[in-house]
Structure 1
Amino acid sequence: MTIYWAPFLHAYQPPWQDVEILKQIYKECYMPLLSMLERHENVKLTLNIQGCLLDQFAKLNLKESRNKLRHLIENQKVELVGSGKYHPILPLIPPAEVDRQIKLTNSTIMQHFSQDKLSGFFPPEMAVSPQLCKIIKKSNFEWMIMDGIANSDEWPHDYVQQSPSGLVTVFRDTYLSNLISFNNIDAQGFVDQLATMFEQFPDEDHYVITAQDAETFGHHIKYYETSFLGKAFSIIEDRSDIKICFISDLLKKFPKKIGKQIKSSSWSTDGGDLAAKVPYPLWMHPLNPIHKYQYRMLRALYRLMEIVEKCALEKGEDSNFSNYYKTARFFYDESLHSCWLWWASMRPMWSPNLIYKGIDLINKTALNAQLALINLKVGEGDQYYSIVIDNGEKLMNALVDQESKGQHLRTYGDF
């Protein structure tokens, strides 16, 4: 019996991240992590690096990290995957914007690393839905990773599951992944767990996928890239019963079986959330007073931008319209990021200032979209612009009201 371990990491910082904080994370996490991967010969790591983070590295002229990553890719130690460039919760944005976010990521990765094709896909926050599976399949990806909670049964270990749409859906081991993420298991304990978890099937090969934020290693937990990941690689190097592989390798090593429809969920969704029919609780909860206004703003913005996009196709030659449209489009891409929703979740995340950064991007998008339409003398979007601005003001008041209550509501549980 051989156990195949497919480690996965996700690297992301929001596009508006403070430069000094980004430099600190770069020093504590990204560079030590990449250097550690270079040192170990048996490394195979599937990695999502968000497109907006690559742009930030380029703006800060952090060439060493890109060169190290390029070297790791060329030496077949790292495989990259696709995603949404600005880290949106893909099931919650318009399908046209899902397609655009995917294409933006692909073009950014090709620009930095000359990758011919990306076979795998990481949905930000592992937020998935059956409809998203269809979109990802149409975008020519072979597989998509998601949390174990998305599977209707126990996540598979001796075959890979194919969704009804034809996309291979692979599941992280939620239990083991969380033990690692919260520093509740050491490297030796993890390897021992891998070696013994399928003892009842001695004649069959099995696999385990673990997945964490890259920032876990070195930023959230100091020196963890060496004390856990590096040490695990070293221990496994001297064993014959455990092999490290890319997630893409699992599709070649294990048979495919058609599985049930996956559940709409994320890697922060628990059983109580699913029972309450709240699949994305940190980003869209019906009992969250802040999310209510955020989504009123977003839904109106979607409609406003649909009108502007239609005008761009029909009348885009007008220079004044074009300038405002391009500005709106620039801010719109960034405004779909998930962070301003996450910081409003009160579970326990709460930051009025980071929520405000999202409000600012929404308002900039709406303003320039409205100015674009005014230059074409199109009044069709006026009502949506008004909804954005009106609910932005209500949201600002709600932030103050929530803070004044002195409590951050936990918007889940028994109800």
Structure 2
Amino acid sequence: MLWLNFLHFYQPPTASDEQIRDIVKSCYQSWADFLLINKKVKVTVNLTACLTERLFQLGYQKLLNQFACLAERQQIEFVESAAFHPILPLLPDQEIIKQIKINHDINSRHLGPAYQPRGFFPPEMAYSQKLAVILGRLKYQYLILDQIALDGTLKTAIDPSVKYKIKKTKLTVVFRDRRLSQTFVPEKIQELFSGNYHNNQILITATDGELYGHRHWNWWSGYQEIIKNKQVQTATLGEYLKNIKKTQEVSPRPSSWESSPSELRASHPFALWLSPNNQIQKQLWQLANFALELNYQYKKDPNHFASRLHLERGLASCTFWWASGRDFALFDSPAWNPGEIEKGARELIFSIRSLASVSAKTKIKAELAFSALQKNIWLTHWRAN
């Protein structure tokens, strides 16, 4: 059995220092220690740049050096992403490119020459064709998507013996097994050992890295039981792709790793962050697009750098996710948090307020939009309680 385990490390750019320190202790340091001890284990990792920067600012350079060392030992393969975890298909092309380049610059600065990404992880696995075109131009070799992107259903099995090539590009796409990835994977693999499985079986899983240590605190023992089995091997995605000869052209569907078949049939692939029936999300995106427009229009503004920082923090997917109100079985309560929504919205209005060159008339327009959004957030919240 070959297990290809992809880990997405990310914390919101608005997370507190205490939150970051807590998750370093429970998850990130735990992962570094585990891999340093278990030298045969290999994983593919996305370390989102906004998290990398926070780790550096909080004094965790030793941890970053350990991750770099693991990459040099070829236990970790780093992949690229977007620096502040936005939903890329909902952004203009120039912002997509900018976020990718910022991600590369920050990670290269803190991880050194060990950071040589060939693959790409779109935040939330949110994909559209325009993203493939951009990644092709930027010379990335592959990206990882959810299996629903293959044909819009969850019924079609992914064939791990096939290298899927995206039509009209040079990109390869690796599809994760959604059902397996939505479990605590080590436990599920142990269940496979007790049933029927094939020695040449290939498992492709992709999860939040925080699943290990932060949500499942005692994960080392289960993982070690798996890797002690001589019939189990691990590899990075890049290593796996090198050995696949058979190819098939595909046209992945716009989707995310939370998209449902019904959402794709209705042409709402990113409904978790922009639902046609969610007025708060619509207002958020109106404010976000206004902030984007002004930020690019006033590039020479003396306060542009500060405006840019606020914009990036406000565009993080969490701002829109917390407004979804979606009820996930994985969590204890629905994805609704007015404080987190407002936190992101404030970053967007701060971005506009920061620009000295923007007229008072334009700023008043933005303030009215923000006030209407803020009112809607809290009225919605209190009416439901």
Cα distance between partner residues in 2 of 1:25 and 1:163:
36
- TM-score with structure 2 setting the length: 0.91
1:150 aligned partner: 149
2:254 aligned partner: 264
Q: Among all aligned residue pairs of Structure 1 and Structure 2, give the percentage whose two residues are the same amino acid.
A: 28
Pairs aligned (count) = 372
2:259 aligned counterpart, secondary structure:
coil
2:179 to 175, 179, 183: 175
Cα distance between partner residues in 1 of 2:207 and 2:369:
35
Q: CA deviation at 1:139?
A: 1.1
2:329 aligned partner: none
Do the aligned partners of 1:187 and 1:229 also contact (CA within 8 Å) in 2? no
2:130 aligned partner: 131
Unpaired runs of at least 5, structure 1: 200-204, 313-320, 408-415
2:35 aligned counterpart, secondary structure:
helix
The one-character-per-residue Cα deviations of 1:86-110 (angstroms, maximum 9, x if unpaired) are 1111111111011011111111111
Q: Which amino acid aligns with 2:191?
A: G
2:163 aligned partner: 160
- TM-score with structure 1 setting the length: 0.85
Which range is displaced more, 82-91 or 325-334?
Answer: 325-334
Whether 1:341 and 2:320 are equivalent positions in the alignment is: yes
The one-character-per-residue Cα deviations of 1:152-182 (angstroms, maximum 9, x if unpaired) are 153231111000122111111111111226x
Report the CA distance shift for 1:300/1:39 in structure 2 as closer, same or farther (over 3 A). Answer: same
Cα distance between partner residues in 1 of 2:159 and 2:370:
45
Q: CA deviation at 1:151?
A: 0.7
Do the aligned partners of 2:78 and 2:116 also contact (CA within 8 Å) in 1? no
Cα distance between partner residues in 2 of 1:135 and 1:245:
27
Whether 1:294 and 2:287 are equivalent positions in the alignment is: no
Q: Which amino acid aligns with 2:288?
A: L
Do the aligned partners of 2:259 and 2:269 also contact (CA within 8 Å) in 1? yes
1:180-191 maps to which residues of 2 (within 5 A)? 180=184, 185-191=187-193
1:351-366 maps to which residues of 2 (within 5 A)? 351-366=337-352
Whether 1:223 and 2:248 are equivalent positions in the alignment is: no
Whether 1:141 and 2:121 are equivalent positions in the alignment is: no
1:303 aligned partner: 293
1:278 aligned counterpart, secondary structure:
coil
Cα distance between partner residues in 2 of 1:256 and 1:135:
25
RMSD of the TM alignment (CA)? 2.0
2:255 aligned counterpart, secondary structure:
coil
Cα distance between partner residues in 1 of 2:5 and 2:365:
44
Runs of 4+ in 1 over 6 A off after TM superposition: none
Which range is displaced more, 42-51 or 323-332?
Answer: 323-332
Report the CA distance shift for 1:402/1:227 in structure 2 as closer, same or farther (over 3 A). Answer: farther
Cα distance between partner residues in 1 of 2:130 and 2:252:
10
Do the aligned partners of 1:126 and 1:146 also contact (CA within 8 Å) in 2? yes
Do the aligned partners of 1:297 and 1:387 also contact (CA within 8 Å) in 2? no
1:259 aligned counterpart, secondary structure:
strand
The one-character-per-residue Cα deviations of 1:377-411 (angstroms, maximum 9, x if unpaired) are xx9xx54x44432221111111122112216xxxx
Unpaired runs of at least 5, structure 2: 327-333
The one-character-per-residue Cα deviations of 1:252-276 (angstroms, maximum 9, x if unpaired) are 1002524221111111111222122
Do the aligned partners of 2:287 and 2:349 also contact (CA within 8 Å) in 1? no
Larger radius of gyration: 1
1:400 aligned partner: 378
Cα distance between partner residues in 1 of 2:380 and 2:34:
44
